[in-house]
Amino acid sequence: MPAIPDYIASHFKRSSKEIGEVERRILDVAHQRKLISTDTNAAFSKNSTFGERLADGIARVGGSWGFIISFLVFLVVWAIINTVVMTTQAFDPYPFVFLNLILSMLAAIQAPIIMMSQNRQGTRDRFEAAKDYEVNLKSELEVLSLHEKIDVKVLAELVALREEIAKLHTRRDNRPDVP
């Protein structure tokens, strides 16, 4: 494999001062023949805090059909209990003011938590895109390196064949019985 400055000049068409830190690191990894691919889920999750994991969990549960259906059942049960079952002693009579308060508080807490999780998902997407770029760049460099090796091998074989053909022509020309 050629030296790293040769790689930079031949593959990036830029000088070593003009390439970024990611490209420089990937060139070094490719030159050392190391693996670059990683489990992005594990790599991203290992740096997450308890609050971030909690926000992800709440968003995962709050955005599921199980939560929606169970919450709908809870609302129907609440309405039935406070209108039909407890007609005289309802703890939250018909306009359901207490239920409205509970729902407002739930929404006030749940909305920022879900937004935190969405922001974290955006960060995760950028992290995965960066990892994909690194793997793709290394793959391209490896493919280009293989093409160069094959081209050198094919050219060497062509030179050897031409020399062999030249020798055959020389032998044929030196034979007296060939017209």
For 31-63, the pLDDT digits (tens) are: 787 878 888 888 888 889 999 999 999 989 988
In the predicted structure, residue 128 carries a pLDDT above the cut 90: yes
Q: What are the tokens at 46?
A: 């290992």
Tell me if 117 sits within 8 A of 58, measured CB to CB.
yes
Percent with pLDDT over 90 in the chain: 42
Contact 26, 140 (CB under 8 A): no
DSSP assignment letter at 64: S
Distance CA 88, CA 149 (A): 89
Single-letter code of the amino acid located at 41: N
- pLDDT tens-digit map of 84-107: 878 778 888 888 999 999 999 999
The backbone region for 48, taken as left when phi is positive above 0, alpha when psi lies in -120 to 50, beta otherwise, is: beta
**Residues in contact with 92: Cβ distance below 8 Å, sequence separation at least 6, in sequence order:** 78, 82, 98, 99
Instruction: Say what the pLDDT of residue 47 is.
Output: 85
Res 137: pLDDT = 86
CA distance 26 to 130: 12
Identify the residue with better confidence: 13 or 123: 123
Pairwise CA distance, residues 24 & 55, whole Å:
36
Tell me the mean pLDDT in the region 1-23: 64
Distance CA 21, CA 17 (A): 10
Which tokens sit at 12? 């990036």
What single-letter amino acid sits at 157?
E
Q: Which two tokens stand for residue 8?
A: 């930079």
CB within 8 Å of 91: residues ≥ 6 apart? 82, 98
pLDDT score at 1: 47
Q: What is the mean pLDDT of residues 70-80?
A: 93
Q: Is pLDDT at 82 greater than 90 in this prediction?
A: no
Give me the DSSP letters along 71-91. Answer: HHHHHHHHHHIIIIITTTT-S
Whether pTM > 0.85 for this model: the answer is no
